[in-house]
Amino acid sequence: MQLSIYQASVPVFAQGLRALLGILGKAQAHVEARGIDPMALLQARLYPDMLPFNRQIHLCTDFAKGPVARLAGQEPTSFADVETSFADLIARVANTLAIVEGFSADQIDGSEEKDITLIRRGESTVVKGRAYLLEQAMPNFYFHLTTAFAILRHNGVEIGKKDFLGLV
């Protein structure tokens, strides 16, 4: 049996988003238990020219909900990127998870060769569905998920590989 594009997208994004919910919960508990200003983590970066933690979450969720919508032939749901607390970010991730899990295999399967039009910085490009998912969306999703994880770990939040994989 072949792996379908639905199987390669929705369950994978959902697992990462559920793991992210757990990680965010641990980060929130960390700042509360230690009396740390949450903004210290929400604005933390691994290096000055990198985006802060909250933007990593924004982009991680965008690279989950956007691809599944596009593969299903729909316009992605847009979020305002205004979250200023862990509670806000948790709500955003939960909302994204609901959006992602709202797509069915019938909506996504068969989109491997579908033309996906992307507009970045005012420039339009067209890629095929499979290439979009596997070469652009998934690497970006995992880049921002990993960077968010690394920022929290670097700042003392007690999370590990099982948290990243969503196994706790």
pLDDT category at 119 given cuts 50, 70, 90 is confident
Share of the chain above pLDDT 70, in %: 99
Q: Are 28 and 113 in contact (CB under 8 A)?
A: no
pLDDT value of residue 132? 97
For tokens 């939040």, the residue is 157
φ, ψ for residue 20 (rounded to 5)? -65, -40
Q: Are 3 and 127 in contact (CB under 8 A)?
A: no
pTM > 0.75: yes
- The larger pLDDT score, comparing residue 121 to residue 88, is at 88
Share of the chain above pLDDT 90, in %: 95
Q: Are 68 and 141 in contact (CB under 8 A)?
A: no
What CATH topology corresponds to 10-165? Four Helix Bundle (Hemerythrin (Met), subunit A) (1.20.120)
What is the rounded average pLDDT for all residues in the chain? 96
Q: Tell whether the model's pLDDT for residue 1 goes beyond 90.
A: no
pLDDT category at 76 given cuts 50, 70, 90 is very high
Q: Is 143 helix (H, G, I), strand (E, B) or coil?
A: helix
Q: Tell whether the model's pLDDT for residue 120 goes beyond 90.
A: no
pLDDT value of residue 39? 96
Nearest to 145 by CA among 115, 165, 120, 118: 165
